[in-house]
Structure 1
Amino acid sequence: MFMIDAEHFRSLLEDERDRILRQMESRRAEIASIEATLRDLHVDDQNPEGASTLFEISQETSLLAHQTELLGEINEALARITDGTYGNCLECRQPIPQDRLEARPWTGYCIDHAIRHRPRTPQH
């Protein structure tokens, strides 16, 4: 069993949280700018520029939603550091390998259980 360097991982998580918050702020400003452009275009369904602008808003909104989800995972990981459970799988309670934590410090699951908890994409 290895000891988790909690401060190392806290620092990684806080840096990642700050980076994501900056990106989210930028993305929100971009969405607002695109929406303003869309209003100025007086688009209709037949305007190709309007369609690409709507696609751009959809893409930015989707990325923002993903970042919001990741931010939640980071905050949960920081809470686990505080309560002393960081580094153990939420499912089996076994230690998560150090290299996995280095790659994804916000993870709450070992590889085996991460597969089970991965969000499923709808099948068309």
Structure 2
Amino acid sequence: MAKKTGKLVFEGKDKEHYDALMHARDMILGQMQYHAEDALDCSNADKRGVTTHMADVSSDNSRHEMELQLLSEEGDVLRLIEDAIKRLVDGEYGKCQECGEPISEGRLAIRPYAVYCVKCKEMHEKQGWHVPR
């Protein structure tokens, strides 16, 4: 990584990782925008011409709850992505936060914001811990 006119410039593998993180970030932000618009759209029933029947209201409430839950989960992923970008800048990207060993390139290719190596992730899951993706 080099600094060029006040901007960070990544090269080689760091550039690939940065590009993957930015792509994941863009995807999550797009999903968050979609879910936020859908969850906060109170006029949805009016658009369909639906009366305020109890079943319709219940269905709409369930859908709104689901959209808000998805929005919350996507916010968690966005935080993981932002943290991964910071680790990339600090030279700590790709290291398992549990054991310190490198996270495999295959895992980073699938989930560029991974926090744990496969071994540690599996260990946490077996113990029933809720761990970041």
Tell me, yes or no, whether TM beats 0.5: yes
Tell me the CA shift for residue 112 of structure 1: 1.9
The one of 86, 89, 95 equivalent to 1:88 is 95
Opposite residue 97 of structure 1, the aligned amino acid is S
- TM-score w.r.t. length of structure 1: 0.81
Aligned length: 114
More helix by share: 1
Q: What is the TM-score with the length of structure 2 in the denominator?
A: 0.76
2-structure distance, mates of 1:71, 1:38: 30
Rounded to whole Å, the distance in 1 between the matches of 2:15 and 2:44 is: 45
Over residues 22-70 of structure 1, what are the superposed CA-to-partner deviations in whole Å (9 max), with x where a residue is unaligned?
221121111121x234689785xx7101110010001101110110000
Is 2:40 the partner of 1:32?
Answer: yes
Q: Percentage identity across aligned positions?
A: 26
How does 1:37-56 map onto structure 2 within 5 Å?
Answer: 37=44, 43=52, 47-56=54-63
Deviation readout 1:3-32 (Å, 9 max, x if unpaired): x81110110110110121122112111112
Distance 1:53 1:18 in 2: 28
Within 2, Cα distance between the matches of 1:28 and 1:42?
24
Which structure's relative contact order is higher, taking Cα pairs within 8 Å and 6+ residues apart? 1
1:1-124 to 2 correspondence within 5 Å? 5-33=13-41, 35-37=42-44, 43=52, 47-115=54-122, 116=124, 119=130
Greater percentage in strand:
2
Unpaired stretches in structure 1, ≥5 consecutive residues:
none
For the 8 Å contact 2:39–2:65, the answer to whether it is kept is no
